Structure 1
Amino acid sequence: MAMEPRHPVTQQRTLIERRRELQALDAAFKELRGATDGVPRARRRGLLAFSGPAGLGKTALITQARDRAVASGLTVLSGRGGEKEQGSAFRVVRQFMQPWLARMEGAELHDFLGSWYDVMAAVLGLEARGTAPAPDPTGVREGLDWVMTRLTIKKAPVVLLLDDLHWADAESLSWLDSFASRVDDLPLLIVVAYRPDELPSEAGELRTLVGHHGDERPHDLAHLTPEGVAQIIRDQVGEAAEDVFCKECWSATGGSPFETVELAIGLAERGLSGSEDDAPAMRELAAAIKGPGLIERLEGLDTATVRFAHAAAVLGSPFSPQLAAAIAVLGEETAAEAAQKLRAARILTDGHGPEGELEFVHPLIATTIYRSIRSGFRAGLHNAAAEAVLNAGYGPTAAARHLLEVSCEGRPETVECLREAAREYLRAGATEAAQRLLTRALQEPPLPEDRAAILHELAGATFLIEPTATVRHLRQALAEPHVDPDLRASIVYRLTTALAHTDRMAEAATVAAEEARQATNPRVKLRMQADQFVWSTMRADDPDSPARSRTLARLAEQLPGRSLEERYILGLRAWDAVLRGEPRQTALTYAEKSLHGGMSWTDENRGFEVPLSVALVFMYGDQPRRAEELFEKGIAECAGKGWHGSHLAFGQTIAGYVRYHRGCLAEAEDLVREGLRIADKVEGVVAARWYGVSVLIQTLLARGRVIEARALADDHHFGEMAPNAIIYPDPRTVYAELLLAEGRHAEAAALLSAVGDWLDGRAWRNPAWCPWQLRLATALVPTAPDAAIAHAQDAVHRARDFGAASVVGQALHTLAEVTGGPAALELYAEAVDHLEQSPASYELARAQVGHGAALSRNGRLQEAADRLYQGLEGAVHCGAEALATRAREELSAAGLRPLPLRYVHADALTAQERRTAELTVEGKPVAVIAKELHLTEQGVRQLLSSVYRKIGTDAAGLARALEALPRVRP
């Protein structure tokens, strides 16, 4: 049956007893060619897997696959796992991507990778521009998806051959697992070979990849039959080989193709004919192919050759003969002689690469030799290997895998090499590989003055995978003596962040407060105070929020905003002003001051909480366009660094929240769903899911899809628990909105009352941030109408204190609804008037429909018709289906026929709208503008309302927003 030897000394032969496997390959190649010849065909195979124990010919099948694919005109990419290289992150991915990418010139490569170049540089071993960023694992996966997809399309059709996949590094396996679902949609076939009994315990990805892809199951390779063994033996020693002798060969090899081929070649070299008398010699040869017999055969060679073989086993296949010579301390001529002797002994063979590399004839040989080396001597060889690969310019990651096998001796150079290799892995998003190296660096041990920095680096490596371990490492780092102040500040920030991410907000705030108290450097002290304010603000059980707000206000008044620490304090002051319901101009002023000089969204030692909060100040202050500009910049910054995990999930979700506030409900839903999709792929981002579910439920309710909102809430156990962190929109208030939509007023009222008590205790009084009073007023109407009116009136008062037209309009609208009767008409009119001066399209449409319905019930049909038509158009444009249905029903009930919609569904300003806006910015009153444009004053106000909604601002932000808009032709 057999398999050829891995590198046979005779001419290539067809594999024996592998007809089924070869037919599967041919069928898959034919199908792959058909998928790219312009004729659409359904594909059944995107992946082929061959499995079996060592020696059953998996590599021979992969070699056959390569030859047949090339003969069929297919592009071949190939990679192979290595037993000693499993800890080398992305080694297998680099093997099959690097050769093709290396053929591209610099400019071509940059064009090919596009915006992914810097992110992929460290992953693929390319030269990066400047300092490579540290992407998150999600960003790395998406970047590799992009590269592989582009490479496949460029070189289509493509066959990816992966041998010894059981020894692939974890990072390559993880990516292959996630990419496998795309294979059927690409002109790509993946062929893998692996040993099922040697899968690492953590290789769940591999099991998923090869066991559950489509309808194809792994092809389990069988041992050779006696007839197959006989054919291989006779191919080498001649047809005269006796049946009894061939049967003895089958017994000696167990039907292993590798052992059978090696035995047959050995028999031929000894000149044996295959008679029964040759059986003892045959058994001697068979015993020397592997195991103790192989070691006896090796040790029968000279010392220099044995040393060269040991060095080769430490390096792993394929290897540089020059490196092996350096490790074995052999001269060039002696090393060449040793290599030739090992070739003759069929231990080594020439590799396929262009660099003159060597490799073992079979991994079994390499494993046997490696395990035969005494442990102490083996550690010394690894130490020599680390020095040799560094001297040869292979870099710290190549050396680090050897240093992991060396005993701990307290050498600073070992620590530095391990740290540098860990940094490279972190730049490649390989956090687990970095964690292994930094843990080993601590065991060396390092110099006392370096220990805190290494613990800090280790915490950065474990943050995404073991946040609890991160806390432990950072507490140990803080306990070290004489920590540099800047390093200590970074340690504290990372510690507080890790505590917050493990839902320990109180501890996070306490740690920052204690560090602020102890700090002697004014800049560091200010930074610690900023961190304390961040975590206290986000803490749901902050014991003294009003006092903290007063402290923050006093501190912000003294700061000019020159340093980043000062700007963070100013940004926090702006956010606190929003929460407390101070005049919005106060909040906007501090927000603008905080942005002078910039704030990064991707500063690993500061986080994105403050930049995000500053952006939301503009949203709540009726300048959502400004918020969107900041979010677009922040999201682009995250994407540019390869941060496609929790940061991007937050960014997409909150960007959707801004669109919700503008009334762009369909866009909001799309953005939030994308944010949730990203969050679901990232382990441990509970807060991002809370944000996403809250905003999505609110958006679905605005669109009238109550059943869908309920299903979403139930799927995420929303309403059953409350996070310890502050989430916006407030989850309990959002859940109460869902209860109201379901008609469960009493439950909603109880929940909202509790929310109100909690927020009032913190002196957070802004209905723009949390409209609990507005929802409570609605909930109380059926049972306590007077209390409902009182709550609505207080909400109007608080809204006026803040001063944003959108929230004043919403509060007046709620007051009108709970008041009812003729007395509500004036309140409705005032609500519409305020909302027309804001960018809140959906809330304006709601108020217009509500006003129209009230006018109709009071017999003022003409006015009702105008309002209902306006509300209907606004509802349709916003994507508020239920509101549009209500408007049509109100029109029908009043005996009015809905007119064709007049609203042009475009965000660009008309020439008349632009001119109206420009005159407003110049400070001209409405009456003057009306006269100049030959319009009524009401017509001018309607044009301005359209301007505010289209460009996402109010009158205060109009000048700035207008500057960024292109001019339109009349």
Structure 2
Amino acid sequence: MAQREAHNRRALLEREAELAAVDDALAELTGAGGPARGGLLAIAGPAGVGKTSLLSEVRTRAAAHGCTVLSARGGDQEQQVAFHVARQLLQPRLAGGTDAEVRETLGSWYGIVGPALGLCTADGPAPDPQGLRDGLDWVLTHLAVQLAPTVLVLDDAHWADQQSLNWLAAFAPRADELDLLIVVAYRPDELPPGADAFRVLPGRAGHRPIGLAPLTEAAVAQLARDVVGPHADDAFCRECWAVTAGNPFEAVELIAKVRDRGLPPDGTSVHLLRDLAAAVKGSGLITRLERLGPSTVRLAWAAAVLGTEVRPALAATVAGLGTETAADCADRLREARILTGSRTLEFVHPLIATAVYRAIPDAVRVALHGQAAWAVVDAGLGPGAAARHLLETHPEGDPWVVHQLRAAAREMLRAGAPEAARTHLARALREPPPPGERAAVLYELGCSSQLLEPSTTVNHLRAALEEPIDDPELRDGIHFRLSQSLAHSDRLSEAAEVVAHAARTATNARTRLRMQSEQFMWDAFRADEPDSPSRSRRLTRLADRLSGRDLTERYIIGLRAWDALLRGEHTSTVLRHAGRALEGGLPWADEGRGFEVPVLVAMTYLYSDRPDRAEELFATGIADFERMGWRGAHLSFGYLLLGYVRYRGGRLAEAEELARDGLRLAERVGRGTPVQWYSVAVLIEILIARGRTEEATALAAEYAFREPFPAAVTFPDAQAVHGELLLARGLHKEAAAELAAVGRRLDPRGMRNPGWCPWQLHLALAEAHDAPQRARENALDAVARARQFGAPSAIGHALRVAAEVVGDTDEGLTLLAEAVDRLTGSPSGHQLACALVAHGSALRRTGSTVAAAAELERGLAAAVRCGADGLAERARDEIAALVPRPAPGAHPAPAGGRGAR
């Protein structure tokens, strides 16, 4: 340790500016002279330039400032080990206590981040990658707060595993909000694309990382004289600098070799320096290693294959050496400044490790990785540790290899690393697996790709179905996953056909019913379903004879409730079936099922004027998603549709906040995904309701919210929302064309409920200018459909729009009065505000000023409560218009005159 500290001090020559930046950052972190502030320090430079020495000094100075230090290092051989760096950083701070203490510390995150950090085994569904990343964010934030001030040091970031590096790159901007300083060192030419954030994030050094330059001739001369003595002459020192190009690692090693050999530090030794420098790296290093003997070489090879922090006993096993022989070899490697450490072995510098690894003959390296895989399994380190070695071996049709890779993939999937799981399974497929296992491996490979590339999942699962499959559950699982992946790729017709075929060929009655339920669901979402009325009749007949004894039956009953809603059956029928579906429970986060049916059942309550019940169901679903670590598309849907519930209830400000949360989460899932369409549609509707049409227009432009629309039926209907936006912008002809297209799509399918999709009402408003009679017919037909459905909010909305189309006639006033009456008894605060303002405005225009004032005041109060700013402004304008204004040129009557009476 003393030798390494001396080495670090020598290697830190000419690093005054960098150390000053470190001191400044630590001073700000600890609040010296002002409020405490964290941040990012990125240090970049080629191999051997002194990054590790500088980070060692950072750790020393951080400890001297009273900071907690979290430290990790990427490894060339550990890049395939998911969360390797995250474990180094966080595990030591969490693993010291009992399991109960760890559970208490992590709370609800225990089952999500615990497997990734090696704190527990995974026993539940896999979290999605975003959920796990959120969990790691929470853990690091928690530690940074509890242990503040905290310094996180990551060396060799270019070799960090993909999962850890992506997480830290995304987390880094948050360091400014915490008492946390993140210090990262990397080789800029080897930093993977996913970590580009480290190159551009504003840190203590501005928008660029701190670059380390080679040492000058004077600094190398000082190094030489510190080690070999002040009598080292200028020619000797100059040549030391020239042959190492000022690289600190090479200079220190060269000068140490001069000292160890007892060479005179003068002109007589200058001709030897170039050969000595060559022995520090590359082929010269390997030649020096080979001189230590074949057993020592094998131990060095074994250590290079095993990576960082190598157990001596494990290295001995891989090298095929006895304990005493391995200990002697380790001593020789330490004396040669190749390895360091006793309890664990580590190469003195990553350059040495890389050179040794690359010098291993190809066939020998493959064999050593194979031996390492067996050794780590025998040592109890598990299939995850073995998998990284098996990835380096050649396929040989070994069932043991397939077994270990599949087990490792399951570990990775449950730990939230589907990319790593996919890599392991792809290698298992090349082994290849025994013929009877190939379908299962393809199925697992498809499952691991589902969150990453649904289209790739489709290919794997279709290939699995072409293999012989003896296990019926496996075949059913393949059909289910395949239909899900097709649906999530916006290929709903293919998704429905997959489960329809599975239902036709099923030999088990319950399996057939399960597949029928899936087919009903995907058909319900299809915008191009060829015979929707026929499907509705079949669904009705089936659901009405089911008791709801299991989840499959309750799913079918739930789909019956949703279908009744779309078709505009009375709310009593809709709510009866929804209640039946919920009697035995509808889990939102069942890994073997989608979350679509529970969402549909919750939405039936919303459209049936039971937003309180809908909100309860969504709150339960969101809690389930968060508990399972499903914080991607699942949680995005939950938030945005909860926002839609608030919108329908007239709580527009809360609705907007939730919808923006949903859109933010949808952004992490990816552009063009179904969840993003939903998010944008909901947010546009909310902005229109709030009177912010320009903002809604900009949002639609930003996300290309226009044709072609998704193949799935959405709520709200995306095309109808687009038509509503065109109408709000005053583009009546374009809006009429878009909304008429919605009607041509939905009406033939029997989707006639204006409470769900009020396309007729918006179309009537769009046509009122050019085709008033057709507009009237559309509006009154929508009123009739709403009355059939029976929800007061739907009826009131339809009556208000019909009155606007009819105009300021007795009929129009009657319609508005009934609209106000209906909506007063509904939970739709925004629609009530609209009806009150419309009724008050109509009364003012027909001369009933007293009644108008009362309605407008009520409407203004309701609009303000809802957050409908545009509507509130309109109400104020109408109230102002009620005040009589003096005629031009007239003068106010004097006090006490006739004008006062």
Please give the range of the TM-score, normalised by the shorter of the 2 chains. Answer: over 0.9
| Aligned residue number for residue 895 of structure 2 | none
Match for 1:336: what amino acid? A
Whole-angstrom distance in 1 between the partners of 2:381 and 2:230: 50
Equivalent position to 1:247, from 238, 242, 257: 238
Q: Is the 8 A contact 2:42 2:203 kept in 1?
A: no
Task: Note if contact 1:379-1:407 (Cα within 8 Å) is conserved in structure 2.
Answer: yes
Q: Which amino acid aligns with 2:719?
A: R
Match of 1:276 among 267, 273, 278: 267
Q: Residues 870 and 264 (structure 1 numbering): CA distance in 2 closer, same or farther, change over 3 Å?
A: same
The residue that corresponds to 1:884 in the other structure is: 872
Work out whether 1:152 is the aligned partner of 2:144: yes
Distance in 2 (CA, whole Å) between partners of 1:855 and 1:255 is 89
> Which amino acid letter does the alignment assign opposite residue 20 of structure 1?
A
Asked if the contact 2:7–2:252 (Cα under 8 Å) also holds between the matched residues in 1, the reply is no
* Match 1:558 to one of 545, 570, 574: 545
2:48 corresponds in structure 1 to 55
Provide the alpha-carbon RMSD of the alignment: 2.2
Contact 1:872 1:888 in 2 (8 A): yes
What is the SS of the residue equivalent to 1:161? strand
Alignment of 1:230-245 (within 5 A): 230-245=221-236
Provide the residue aligned with 1:851 in structure 2: 839
1:99 to 92, 96, 100: 92
The separation in 2 between residues aligned to 1:862 and 1:20, in whole angstroms, is 78
Does the CA contact (< 8 Å) of 2:765 and 2:801 recur in 1? yes
Matched, 1:829 2:817: yes
Does residue 873 of structure 1 match 2:866?
Answer: no
Instruction: Look up the equivalent residue of 2:35 and give its one-letter code.
Output: P
Report the more deviating stretch, 431-440 or 290-299: 290-299
Given the superposition, is the C-alpha separation of residues 847 and 198 from structure 1 closer, same or farther in structure 2, using an over 3 Å criterion? closer
CA contact (8 A) 1:464 1:683 kept: no
- In 1, the alpha carbon distance for the partners of 2:513 and 2:268 equals 91
Question: Separation in 1 of the partners of 2:60 and 2:118?
Answer: 28
> Tell me, what secondary structure is at the counterpart of 1:357?
coil
CA distance in 2, matches of 1:139, 1:665: 28
Q: What is the identity, as a one-letter code, of the residue corresponding to 2:839? A: H
Structure 2: gaps of 5 or more residues = 886-901
Partner of 2:58: 65
1:125 Cα deviation from its structure 2 partner: 1.4
**Offset at 1:636?**
0.7
Distance 1:870 1:24 in 2: 62
Q: Distance in 2 between matches of 1:764 and 1:557?
A: 20
Q: Indicate if the aligned counterparts of 1:766 and 1:802 stay in contact, CA closer than 8 A.
A: yes
Question: 1:633: how far off?
Answer: 0.6
C-alpha distance in 2 between matches for 1:280 and 1:674: 69
SS in 1 for 2:154: strand
Contact 2:166 2:194 in 1 (8 A): no
Contact 2:409 2:420 in 1 (8 A): yes
- Compute the displacement of 1:647 (Å): 0.8
- Cross-structure match for 1:163: 155
Which residues of 2 match residues 401-800 of structure 1 at below 5 A? 401-683=388-670, 686-800=673-787
Q: Deviations over 1:260-319 (max 9, x none)?
A: 211222222222222333345544433322222222222222332222111111111221
Flag the 1:748–1:284 CA change in 2: closer, same or farther, 3 A.
closer
Aligned position for 2:893: none
**Does the CA-based 8 Å contact 2:438-2:467 persist in structure 1?**
yes
Change beyond 3 A, Cα 1:857–1:541: same
Q: Retained in 1: the 8 A contact 2:200–2:208?
A: no
Match of 1:394 among 370, 381, 402: 381
Q: What is the identity, as a one-letter code, of the residue corresponding to 1:392?
A: A
Match of 1:189 among 157, 161, 181: 181
Q: Hey, what's the Cα distance between the residues in 1 that align with 2:97 and 2:640?
A: 38
What is the deviation of 1:133?
A: 3.4
Secondary structure at 1:7 match in 2: helix
**How far apart, in 2, do the equivalents of 1:751 and 1:248 lie?**
80
Opposite residue 164 of structure 1, the aligned amino acid is D
Relative distance call for 1:851 and 1:448 in structure 2 (3 A) is: same
Residue 339 of structure 1 aligns to a residue whose secondary structure is: helix
Partner of 1:27 in structure 2? 24
Provide the residue aligned with 1:119 in structure 2.
Answer: 112
- 1:324 Cα deviation after fit: 0.5
The amino acid that maps onto 1:296 is T
Q: Verify the 8 A CA contact 1:5 1:262 in the aligned structure 2.
A: no
Q: Taking every aligned residue pair, what percent have the same amino acid on both sides?
A: 55
Q: 2:660, 2:8 → 1: CA distance?
A: 59
Give me the whole-angstrom Cα distance separating, in 1, the residues matched to 2:523 and 2:471. Answer: 26
Task: State the one-letter code of the partner of 1:815.
Answer: A
SS at match of 1:83: coil
Residue 483 of structure 1: how far off its partner (Å): 4.6
Looking at structure 2, the residues matched to 648 and 233 of structure 1 have their Cα atoms a distance apart, in angstroms, of 61
- Alpha-carbon separation, structure 1, partners of 2:819 and 2:437: 63
Q: Which amino acid aligns with 1:47?
A: L
Aligned length: 884
Q: Secondary structure at the match of 1:743?
A: coil
Question: What amino acid sits opposite 2:162 in the alignment?
Answer: A
Residue 438 of structure 1, CA deviation: 0.8
Residues 182 and 10 of structure 1: is their aligned pair in 2 closer, same or farther, counting only changes over 3 Å?
A: closer
Task: Tell me which moved more, 469-478 or 277-286.
Answer: 277-286
Distance 1:687 1:225, change over 3 A: same
Cα deviation for residue 668 of structure 1 reads: 0.9
Residue 40 (structure 1) aligns with: 35
CA contact (8 A) 1:652 1:672 kept: yes
- C-alpha deviations, 1:224-268, integer Å up to 9, x for none? 223222222222222222322223323332322112211222222
**Letter of the structure 1 residue corresponding to residue 25 of structure 2:** A
- Where 2:152 maps in the other structure, the secondary structure is strand
CA distance in 1, matches of 2:563, 2:290: 77
Q: Which moved more, 1:189-198 or 1:242-251?
A: 242-251
Deviations 1:201-241 (A, max 9, x none): 555344445x8887142222222223222222222222222
Separation in 2, partners of 1:279, 1:881: 83
Distance in 1 (alpha carbons) for counterparts of 2:233 and 2:767: 99
Relative to 1, partners in 2 of residues 1:695 and 1:202: Cα closer, same or farther, differing over 3 Å?
closer
* d(CA) in 1 for partners of 2:663, 2:873: 29
SS of 1:318 mapped into structure 2: coil
Who is 1:907 aligned against?
Answer: none
What whole-Å deviation, never above 9, does each CA across 1:5-40 have from its counterpart, x for those lacking one? 9836779547222222222222222222226x7x33
* Matched-pair contact (CA < 8 Å) for 1:651–1:675: yes
SS of structure 2 residue aligned to 1:446: coil
Output one character per residue of 1:632-690: Cα deviation in whole Å (capped at 9) or x when no partner: 11111111111111111111111111111111111111111111111112225621121
| 1: CA distance, partners of 2:884 / 2:549 | 61
Cα distance in structure 2, aligned partners of 1:389 and 1:444: 20
**333-342 vs 746-755, greater mean Cα deviation:** 746-755
- Offset at residue 81 of structure 1 (A): 0.6
User: What does the per-residue CA deviation read over 1:727-772, in whole Å, with 9 as the maximum and x for residues that have no partner?
Assistant: 2111222222222222222222222222112211111111111111
Aligned partners of 2:5, 2:874: CA distance in 1, in Å?
Answer: 81
CA distance in 2, matches of 1:112, 1:193: 30
Q: What letter is aligned with 1:832? A: V
Which residue type is aligned with residue 876 of structure 1?
V
Give the TM-score normalised by structure 2.
0.94
SS at match of 1:122: coil
Give the residue type in structure 2 aligned to 1:818.
Answer: V
Look up the equivalent residue of 2:469 and give its one-letter code. H
TM-score (norm 1): 0.88
Cα pair 1:177 1:208 within 8 Å, conserved: no
Q: Residue 827 of structure 2 corresponds to which residue in structure 1? A: 839
**Match status 1:894 vs 2:882:** yes
Letter in 1 for 2:102: L
Conservation of the 8 A alpha-carbon contact between 1:174 and 1:205: no
Change (3 A) 1:708 1:213: farther
